[in-house]
Structures are given as structure tokens and as C-alpha cells.
């Protein structure tokens, strides 16, 4: 499903992206990968929005849409809407999306 040490799982028409979000940050940014003690891998992201009324989640969707150059409407939550660790579904060509993520993380 996903590469070891990579926060992406590919499916037929979408990917699932594991994200660890930090709200109330000083800036909006995608900061790379993070691997937990259990071997679970997440994409680290920060947003300046507060974690109330879905503001931080909305900011995360906007950040990822810009970062991946995809429409905001192609990104939805599978789980974690009220926690720091989230799993997002991103509609599109899985190979193209994985390639974008890998190249952005390599920068």
C-alpha cells in the first residue's frame, strides 16, 4: 500500500495522506516527514489558524491544495478531524500525486 517511511497510501483513483497538524503556529508550512516510535509515518504541517470550528482543518486543506497544486475540493478527511493526526483522501491520479509529494519532500 505505502512505501516504508512514507505517509502516502495509493488507491485506484486517490491517495490517502497521513498528516500531523500543529495549529496556532507562527506560519503555514509543510515541514516534511515524521516517524513515530511505532514506525508510523506522517507528513508534518503547521497552520496559523486556531483549532476551533474547523478553522485549522480548513487552513490545512488550503495549504495542501496549494502545496500539491490540486483543487481544494479534491481533498477530504477520512479521519482525525478533531485530533492532530489526520488521514486525508486526495482525489486524482495516484502516481502523479505520489510523485508530487516525493519531489516536494526531497526539496
Q: List the one residue out of 58, 24, 25, 63 whose CA is nearest residue 43.
A: 63
**Residue 102: what are its φ and ψ, rounded to 5°?**
-60, -40
Give the gyration radius of the chain's Cα atoms.
13
What residue segments make up the domains of the chain, in order of their start?
Answer: 8-106
Q: Is residue 4 very low, low, confident or very high in pLDDT (cuts 50, 70, 90)?
A: low
Give the fold, CATH level 3, of 8-106.
Answer: Conserved Hypothetical Protein Mth637; Chain: A; (3.30.1200)
With a pLDDT cut of 90, the percent of the chain lying above it is: 85
* Backbone angle region of 92, left / alpha / beta, with phi > 0 → left and psi within -120 to 50 → alpha: left
Q: Which three cell numbers stand for residue 74?
A: 479534491
Q: Is the pTM of this model over 0.85?
A: yes
DSSP of 2-37, one letter per residue? --TT-SEEE-SSEEEEEEEEE-S-SS-EEEEEEE-T
**Tens digit of pLDDT for each residue in 33-65?**
999 888 889 999 999 999 999 999 999 999 999
Amino acid at each position: 500500500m505505502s512505501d516504508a517511511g512514507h505517509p502516502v497510501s495509493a488507491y485506484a483513483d486517490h491517495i490517502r495522506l497521513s498528516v500531523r497538524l500543529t495549529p496556532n503556529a507562527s506560519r503555514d508550512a509543510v515541514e516534511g516527514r515524521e516517524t513515530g516510535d511505532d514506525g508510523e509515518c506522517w507528513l508534518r504541517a503547521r497552520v496559523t489558524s486556531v483549532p476551533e470550528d474547523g478553522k485549522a482543518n480548513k487552513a490545512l486543506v488550503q495549504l495542501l491544495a496549494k502545496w500539491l497544486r490540486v483543487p481544494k475540493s479534491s481533498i477530504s478527511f477520512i479521519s482525525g478531524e478533531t485530533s492532530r493526526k489526520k488521514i486525508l483522501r486526495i482525489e486524482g491520479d495516484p502516481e502523479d500525486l505520489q510523485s508530487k509529494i516525493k519531489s516536494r519532500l526531497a526539496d
